[in-house]
Structures are given as C-alpha cells and as structure tokens.
Amino acid sequence: MGSKKSRLNLSMKVKPAQLEAQGKSAYQNEKFKEAADLFRQAAEGYTMEHAFLLAAEMKNNMSVALLQAGQPQESLDAALGTDQIFARANEIKRQAMSLGNQAAALEALKRYDEAFANYELSAELFRQINEGDLRSMVMKSAAAIKLRTGGISESAFKMIGSMGAKQTPGFFERILIFFLRLINRA
C-alpha cells in the first residue's frame, strides 16, 4: 500500500470514471475494502472536476462497500451530507438512497432511533417519486428495527405498509399481508 500522496497522485493520473469502474468491479468480486478505496479516489477526482453529484454518488458507493467490509462508522461518515447534495440538485431518488445508506450504517451501529428516522425519510421520498419496490425495501428495514426493539404491533403495521408499497406483491407477500391484517384486528 502506497502513501496517501502516491494514491492521490494515482487518482490524478487515472480518470474518475475509470476508478469508479474499477471500484464496481472490486465490489462485485467482494473486495469491499479495495472497492471503498477506489470509490474514495473517484470521489476525490470528481470533486476536483467540480462534478459534485458524481462525487456524492461515489461517496454513497464507498459507504455501501465499507458497510459490507464491516466498518459501519466509516460507512456512515462516507454517506453523511450526500443526501443534502442530492436534495439541492432535486435528485430525489439518490437523496432517498443516501438516507437509506445512512440508516443501514446507523442500524449496524445499533443507533436504532436514528436509523428508523432515516428509513422513514427515505421511504417518504421513494413514495413521492413512485418507487414502490425501493420504498418497500426501506419500510421492511424500518419494520425490522421496530421488531428488534420491541415495537411488535408497529412493526406489523410497517410490514403491511411495505408490502402495499410494492407495485406487484408476490404470492407469498399477499399471504403475509393477509395474516398481518388478521393479527392487527385481534
């Protein structure tokens, strides 16, 4: 591993888009720390080019890779603030994804209340842009937090909501919705 300066020099010689592609390849090959470093370098490169949305996207990719590498605090640090960059650019889908990444890192850090709040914000943004499947995914994560922290009835309501958010719930999900509704009537 070279010094930070030599890595920065490397990122100056290699285009950010190339570093991004290498990071995606490393991630697919489950080399998460390597992927995170490549995404960091890509973010630095995009920042130097004043491509701030792409830099924020790379920070989000870095966040996901760091979480997969078992580094939740670093994952959170990487994603913090990216939601605001996307919000200023009216990039609602990427803003929602950023909040979801932050929530996942907070959940891994056992900061459940903050994670739940971020999942809720993410789900609301996905609702606004009719991204039912993504909304369903974050609502399930929010429900899992409530279940884990003892909010069983609230968790059941969240699960029903997450299933209803999907545009085409599968057979198993329709059965689960039916049973969750029965449980909530009792």
Mind listing the pLDDT tens digit for each residue in 52-100? Answer: 999 999 999 999 999 999 999 999 999 999 999 999 999 999 999 999 9
In the numeric block, the tokens 């609230």 are attached to: 154
User: For residue 116, what pLDDT band results from cuts at 50, 70 and 90?
Assistant: very high
What integer pLDDT is reported at residue 143 of this predicted model?
84
User: For residue 144, what pLDDT band results from cuts at 50, 70 and 90?
Assistant: confident
What share of the chain has pLDDT > 70, as a percent? Answer: 74
Amino acid at 1: M
Q: Return the structure tokens found at 180.
A: 């969750």
pLDDT above 90 (res 107) = yes
pTM score, two decimals?
A: 0.75
User: For residue 146, what pLDDT band results from cuts at 50, 70 and 90?
Assistant: confident
What class, spelled out in words, does domain 80-186 have in CATH? mainly alpha
Q: In whole angstroms, give the CA distance from residue 93 to residue 72.
A: 23
